[in-house]
């Protein structure tokens, strides 16, 4: 019992360190590592960037000679294969650690379990599954991408209590307060890309950058624009703050495509119909090694993505306001939806957090629950 408590204590520290690097590692997972010997922490490490040293390497380098006979806590199974860096399992073995505690197995089915097997074959005691769910949640985007090569999509909205994202005249600034808006900018920092529709881009002329008290990472900006109607002088195409991708169709104006390309915009044709093929778009974005997307769309794009079952997670901010406006005021989701309450889409794993006067509801859509 005491050993289990100690294992969870040190693993929570490793998870906390890993979470601090969320958004920095690209398509790679965030990982934390703690080395403990005789009740003392002798090494700490976090994977900080893709291609850089892994968490185990940083922690064992800090521990140096103290690593022999130690217990190594790591939030994800040490890798057993060569990638941009040598196998971490080999580094742990070379350190002469006596025990390794792992949170979650590597989700890649091609290598899952091999790192643990290598450690055990070398005579190292291994305990796996300590706070595994917390580790998987931390790397949910990596887990989806490594298996499907499709990005993990988080839908974010900010609305009034009656579900409106703007007043009937189009005004939407500001629905939520400053604390909630800072939380959204943290989400931008943590995702590789941010996506909006042409209507939002044309109406708001946003920059879609990350604005935090300390510098954050700007995500790749993605605009879904089937007819290329967003003005060429939009900030997304001219400010140079971050790369921009436009998802359009084969039938869109070819001259307009050339003009966008001349501005450094990556134009991707997704289908030859009147609307962007969203499934194909996600495949193409995955090919570009975009593993996570924050969707900040309007009601139509939100509804289309949800109806296509391309949303993996929802973060819904609500302000304590009622604006009314009926159909003249746009809502968070505009699509056909369910005809009966029994067919409504259900969210699972729901969490509620407060930001000043606003609240955020986070959940995962259970597509087997409804007929969305």
What is the domain extent for residue 156? 149-366
Q: Which of 97, 125, 142 is the last residue of a domain?
A: 142
Number of domains in the chain: 2
- Other beta carbons within 10 Å of 257: 17
Task: Write the CATH number for 121.
Answer: 3.40.140.10
Q: Are residues 284 and 352 in the same domain?
A: yes
Q: Note down pLDDT in tens along the chain; length 372 residues.
A: 656 779 999 999 999 999 999 999 989 999 999 999 999 999 999 998 888 878 999 999 999 999 999 999 999 999 887 766 778 999 999 999 999 999 999 998 878 899 999 999 999 999 999 999 999 999 999 999 999 999 999 999 999 998 888 888 777 788 999 999 999 999 999 999 999 999 999 989 999 999 998 888 999 999 999 999 999 999 999 999 999 999 999 999 999 999 999 999 999 999 998 899 999 999 999 999 999 999 999 999 999 999 999 999 999 999 999 988 778 888 889 888 888 888 899 999 999 999 999 999 999 999 987 554
8 Å CB contact between 176 and 296: no
In a domain, 2, yes or no: no
Does the annotation count 351 as an active-site position? no
Q: Are residues 160 and 130 in the same domain?
A: no
Residue 153 sits at φ, ψ, to 5 deg, of -110, 120
Report how far residue 350's alpha carbon sits from residue 365's, in angstroms, rounded to the nearest whole number. 10
Any binding-site annotation on 270?
no
Any binding-site annotation on 88?
yes
Q: Are residues 273 and 312 in the same domain?
A: yes
Any binding-site annotation on 300?
yes
Q: Are residues 154 and 131 in the same domain?
A: no
In a domain, 235, yes or no: yes
Question: Among residues 56, 66, 143, 269, which one is catalytic?
Answer: 56
Any binding-site annotation on 309?
no
pTM of the full predicted structure?
Answer: 0.92
Task: Write the CATH number for 266.
Answer: 3.40.430.10
In a domain, 372, yes or no: no
Any binding-site annotation on 261?
no
Any binding-site annotation on 40?
no
Q: Tell me how far CA of residue 226 lies from CA of 251, 270, 369, in angstroms.
A: 8, 9, 31
Q: Are residues 215 and 321 in the same domain?
A: yes
């Amino acid at each position: 019992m005491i050993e289990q408590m100690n294992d969870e204590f040190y693993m929570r520290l490793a998870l906390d360190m890993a979470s601090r690097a969320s958004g920095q590692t690209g398509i790679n997972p965030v990982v934390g590592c703690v080395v403990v010997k005789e009740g003392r922490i002798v090494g700490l490490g976090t994977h900080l960037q893709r291609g850089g040293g892994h968490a185990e390497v940083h922690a064992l380098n800090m521990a140096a000679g103290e690593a022999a006979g130690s217990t190594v806590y790591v939030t994800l199974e040490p890798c057993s294969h060569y990638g941009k860096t040598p196998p971490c399992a080999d580094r742990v073995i070379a350190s002469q650690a006596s025990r390794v505690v792992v949170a979650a197995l590597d989700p890649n089915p091609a290598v899952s379990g091999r790192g643990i097997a290598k450690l055990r074959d070398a005579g190292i005691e291994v305990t796996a599954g300590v706070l595994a769910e917390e580790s998987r949640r931390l790397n949910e985007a990596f887990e989806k991408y490594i298996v499907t090569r499709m990005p993990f999509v988080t839908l974010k909205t900010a609305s009034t209590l009656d579900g409106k994202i703007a007043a009937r005249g189009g005004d939407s600034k500001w629905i939520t307060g400053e604390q909630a808006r800072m939380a959204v900018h943290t989400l931008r920092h943590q995702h590789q890309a941010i996506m909006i529709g042409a209507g939002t881009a044309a109406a708001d002329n946003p920059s879609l950058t990350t604005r935090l008290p300390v510098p954050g990472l700007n995500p790749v900006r993605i605009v879904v624009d089937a007819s290329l109607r967003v003005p060429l002088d939009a900030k997304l195409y001219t400010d140079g703050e971050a790369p921009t991708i436009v998802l359009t169709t084969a039938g869109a104006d070819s001259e307009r495509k050339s003009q966008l390309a001349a501005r450094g915009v990556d134009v991707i044709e997704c289908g030859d119909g009147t609307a962007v093929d969203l499934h194909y778009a996600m495949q193409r974005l995955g090919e570009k090694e975009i593993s996570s997307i924050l969707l900040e769309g309007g009601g139509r794009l939100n509804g289309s993505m949800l109806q296509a079952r391309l949303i993996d997670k929802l973060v819904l901010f609500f302000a304590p306001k009622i604006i009314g406006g009926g159909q003249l005021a746009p809502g968070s989701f505009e699509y056909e939806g369910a005809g009966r309450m029994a067919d409504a889409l259900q969210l699972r794993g729901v969490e509620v957090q407060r930001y000043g006067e606003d609240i955020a509801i986070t959940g995962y859509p259970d597509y087997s629950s409804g007929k969305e």
